[in-house]
Structure 1
Amino acid sequence: MTTDASIPESAVLPAEECWRLLQGDSVGRLAVWVNDHPEIFPINYKVHNDSLVFRTGAGTKLASALGKQVAFEADGSDNDGGVAWSVVVRGPATALDRTPEVLDHIGRLLLPWETGRKDHFLRIAPESVSGRRFRIAAPLTWGGPLDDATRAGLE
């Protein structure tokens, strides 16, 4: 939370700032369409050659993303400074060949969280990148009643 009036309540971020924020993070959410409904998967990623790269195994995520339009979202915050950000990247997900460059430079950095084979590397080629930065509002300004746990945390 912040009361610093020099920080705007909300600001649209230029694409360069969105990429800088994404480069400083490594976890986000991949949104895909599965049959008749949306699904969201947590992924770890790297920024590489003006795109996002992640790895996955065979399954729903791969089948629903490969060759299709996807959306990716990552967030971050500076709780001490009272500022948060959110970035969304939209575009097609395409397969990367498992070249020595991909395996050496990206594969070593994208460590799977779950066990199992994660030998598919996908790239999200951005068609749009958008983001915003905003002040973290104090809970008392959210406009609704506080539950007991929140109230206790403020005391």
Structure 2
Amino acid sequence: MYGNDGFRELDRRECLERLAAAVVGRVVFTQEALPAVLPFRFWLDRDGAVVLRTSSVSEMARAVDGAVVAFEADEVDAAAHAGWSVVVTGVASVIADAAERERLRERGPRSRVSWPGEIFVRITPELVTGRELLAETVDGVRLSR
């Protein structure tokens, strides 16, 4: 990254703090050898893992189990020309442990719809990166476009 490109790299702690406050993100995976992206409500677990709640008949769940995926969440303030983006990359897995599934039913991500055969997918964070787009300023005064 260039020093004057208007972005600031976020450290892992900052990335996880921003993810914890986000509501919706996008899971990026491969489906039939092509890239696929789906929006999801999610929950950030205590170890920094991203947890998704979906149906056991979900094509996404079948495609990602055991695969390396990315999960991205962001926030943009168009008026201020500012925002941030965080990407978690890691192996996704359908949670099989009954006790873990029960814990997630009680405390994990909420869904607006009731899924048949509800399951949870965990993305273990192997790489966590983020960038903040800083509002444009000149001598401390924000510019508007």
Question: Structure 2-normalised TM-score?
Answer: 0.78
Q: 1:95 deviation in Å? A: 2.0
Amino acid at match of 2:53: R
| Matches of 1:80 and 1:100, distance apart in 2 | 46
Over 3 Å counting, the alpha-carbon distance change for 1:123 and 1:116 in structure 2 is: closer
Matched position secondary structure for 1:117: coil
Aligned length in residues = 132
Q: Which residue of 1 aligns with 2:62?
A: 63
Over 3 Å counting, the alpha-carbon distance change for 1:33 and 1:139 in structure 2 is: farther
Q: Which residue of 2 aligns with 1:26?
A: 23
Contact kept in structure 2, 1:98 and 1:121, CA below 8 Å: no
Deviations 1:26-64 (CA, angstroms, capped at 9, x unpaired): 210001100121111111111112211111112211111
Q: Which residue of 2 aligns with 1:152?
A: none
Q: Which residue of 1 aligns with 2:39?
A: 42
- Identity over aligned residues, as a percent? 27
Q: 1:78 deviation in Å? A: 4.9
Aligned residue runs from structure 1 range 1-155, under 5 A: 9-48=6-45, 49-57=47-55, 58-78=57-77, 83-97=82-96, 99-100=98-99, 102-104=101-103, 106-108=104-106, 109-117=108-116, 119-136=118-135, 140=145
Amino acid at match of 1:46: W
Q: 1:82 deviation in Å? A: 5.1
Contact kept in structure 2, 1:89 and 1:129, CA below 8 Å: yes
Q: 1:86 deviation in Å? A: 0.2
CA RMSD of aligned residues (A): 2.5
| Matches of 1:139 and 1:39, distance apart in 2 | 35
Q: Is there any run of 5+ residues in structure 2 with no aligned partner, and where?
A: 137-142
Question: Which of the pair has more CA radius of gyration?
Answer: 1
Q: Which residue of 2 aligns with 1:153?
A: none
Query: Which structure's residues are more often strand, by fraction?
Result: 2
Contact kept in structure 2, 1:55 and 1:118, CA below 8 Å: no
Q: 1:112 deviation in Å? A: 1.9
